[in-house]
A and B are shown apart, each in its own frame.
Chain A
Amino acid sequence: MTELNELYQEMILEHNKSPRNFRALADATRKSEGFNPLCGDRLTLYLKLENDNIKEISFQGSGCAISKASASMMTTSVKGKSKAEAEALIEEFRKMLGREAGLDYDARHLGKLAVFSGVCEFPARVKCATLAWHTLHSGLENGAKVVSTEEGEKNRHA
């Protein structure tokens, strides 16, 4: 049971129950869609960028506890950050859950996002955790396109 407890940590369950920034953003400057075709989960991410800073961020959609908590905690982590800082965080998060499985990531940068490190033990669930981050990356880059977790292997944010 320890691995399950590692996966479903208190903080993840709490964010799943009461996700932060879980709403549409009327004055969003960017909107991006994330999609996991394997399970049908969809996520819409709203971004308000000002001078390359993330002034506001929110999300809507349906998903499992892992994907919802990940999206929720992502919004609180990148709000107020610059585009470059957010991209760096995306990279760290990806490293934590990527194929390198936890090698070489800097836990200091991730802070409380490190609660997702237990997802590595559940390969089928890694895409749940990274969906929001893929979607943020695509929102920061171009804003409009629907990203799919199944394109992940081919691009940088696998």
Chain B
Amino acid sequence: MGLDVEKLRKDFPILSRKIHGKPLVYFDNAATTQKPQMVIDVILHYYQSQNANVHRGVHALSEEATSAYEASRVKIQQFLNAHESREIIFVRGATEGINLVASSYGRLHIKRGDEIIISGLEHHSNIVPWQILCEQTGAVLREIPVSDEGELLLEEYERLLSKRTKFVAVGHMSNALGTINPVKKMIQMAHCWNARVLIDGAQAVPHLSVDVQDLDCDFYVFSGHKIYGPTGIGALYGKAELLEAMPPYQSGGDMISYVTFGKTFYNTLPYKFEAGTPHIEGVIGLGAALDYVRALGLEKIEAYERELLAYGTKPLKAFPGVKIIGTAKDKGCILSFVMDGVHPHDIATILDRQGIAIRAGHHCAMPVMERFGLPATARVSLAFYNTREEIDELVRALHHVREVFKS
């Protein structure tokens, strides 16, 4: 049995909204996903009956909040198949996870002349922290080039790897083009040179099953809001022995075990990296989102989304003057495209008036756009609650774009 999409669409109250008088067609899932009622309810319930600070009080509420909070950590551990729950650090999102590693691991291990490899498909959040680290340490940033199809050139990656390579940071799935990178192989290749690897899973986690032990990545990050959870919460997975050796990223309450004015002793994992009162309802909401996804089954989600991607690719490919950017063999449910004579922003404005929400622009991946000689693309990013009918609607709306532009 596949997904009963009509039924599960009812779990997402926002999907019944109208935009400019038309039913909302939400095709901007790579930016953020909508939230099922279950996640909204859990957050409401937390504030209505569980609100207390965690890891503090001996009173019942605090214990309840703490146990709900820590239960989410275990859910994430299971979701990523991490070895231990203390390997899961709560962060604001993938961006903060990458910054944490660049700053903490980077400060400890990256020296002048070392090399850090990223790829030409990265989101700015997996470029800028490494640039800053290179500026601070005198290390050198290298980029894996991208083919015309939007795939990473692995033979070039092989050539970039050397004993100078200390770190590799690559996205699991490109937010701009949808390319799914062969990260398991890339991690193995990096490990041959004793380089550590961080995988940015912000786009992959909502669509693919991820097993960090099988990948053998050293770090993995993702954002909750892209997997049907709240904004402002995400997780960093790191191998325990690496996290143990790393200095704290931020300091304050909760990350300490003992403080005197002379010296502070840091708390154990994961708390060493979680200074201050955390985003408690975010953590609990994220746990609920993962429960929701798990109940549907990622294999079913993946199968449905692949089928939907194929269904959408066909008419776009055949549409006069439309060119799909990113045609990798292994691709997640993203359709990035350009249309002759019509700028992506104009496409997005006209689609919006039909109730269709897409993203137009550089998708925070300017180097990708530069690689393809484009200032911007129009991007349709799908989720399991999207339907064939919505794609038909998109194609009709694209004809309307042609009409408006009389081209």
Q: A residues touching B (Cβ–Cβ < 8 Å)?
A: 1, 3-5, 7-8, 13, 17, 38-42, 62-66, 68, 122, 124-125, 128
Contact = CB atoms under 8 A, between A and B. Distances in A.
Contact of B361 (A5, A7, A39, A62): A39
B405 A13 contact: yes
A40 B376 contact: yes
Given A4-B353, A17-B341, A125-B349, A39 B405 contact: no
Given A1-B353, A40-B369, A64 B346 contact: yes
A62 B360 CA distance: 14
Contact of B353 (A3, A42, A62, A64): A3
Interface residues of B, number: 19
Nearest to A1: B353
B362 interface: yes
Interface in B382-405: 404-405
B404 A4 contact: yes
B18 to A, nearest CB: 16
Contact of A62 (B341, B346, B375): B375
Given A13-B406, A17-B341, A4 B360 contact: no
Contact of B345 (A5, A17, A39, A42): A39
Given A39-B362, A40-B362, A41-B375, A64 B341 contact: no
Interface of B: 341-346, 349-350, 353, 360-362, 366, 369, 375-376, 404-406
9 closest A-B pairs by beta carbon, nearest first, are A64-B343, A64-B345, A40-B362, A62-B375, A39-B361, A65-B346, A64-B346, A40-B375, A8-B404
Given A39-B376, A64-B343, 14 more contacts: A1-B353, A8-B346, A8-B404, A17-B341, A40-B366, A40-B369, A41-B375, A42-B375, A62-B343, A65-B405, A66-B346, A68-B343, A124-B349, A128-B345
B173 to A, nearest CB: 21
A38 B353 contact: no
Contacts of B344: 64
Given A13-B406, A40-B361, A4 B345 contact: no
B360 A65 contact: no
Most buried by A among B369, B375, B405: B375
Contacts of A4: 349-350, 353, 404
A68 B343 CA distance: 10
Given A1-B353, A42-B375, A65 B361 contact: no
A7 B405 CA distance: 11
A63 B405 CA distance: 15
A124 B359 CA distance: 12
Contacts of A124: 349
9 contacts: A4-B404, A8-B350, A8-B405, A13-B406, A39-B376, A40-B362, A63-B343, A65-B405, A125-B345
Contacts of A63: 343, 375
A89 B190 CA distance: 59
Contacts of B404: 4-5, 8
Contacts of A38: 361
Contacts of B406: 13
B360 A39 contact: yes
Contacts of A68: 343
A68 B360 CA distance: 16
Contacts of B369: 40
A122 B375 contact: no
Contacts of B346: 8, 64-66
Nearest to A3: B353
Contact of A7 (B341, B349, B362, B376): B349
Contacts of A66: 345-346
Contacts of B375: 39-42, 62-63
B407 to A, nearest CB: 8
Nearest to A68: B343
A126 to B, nearest CB: 12
A38 B404 CA distance: 24
A65 B345 CA distance: 8
A39 to B, nearest CB: 5
A13 B403 CA distance: 12
Contacts of B361: 38-40
A65 B376 contact: no
A154 B138 CA distance: 36
Nearest to A39: B361
Nearest to A122: B349
Contacts of A13: 405-406
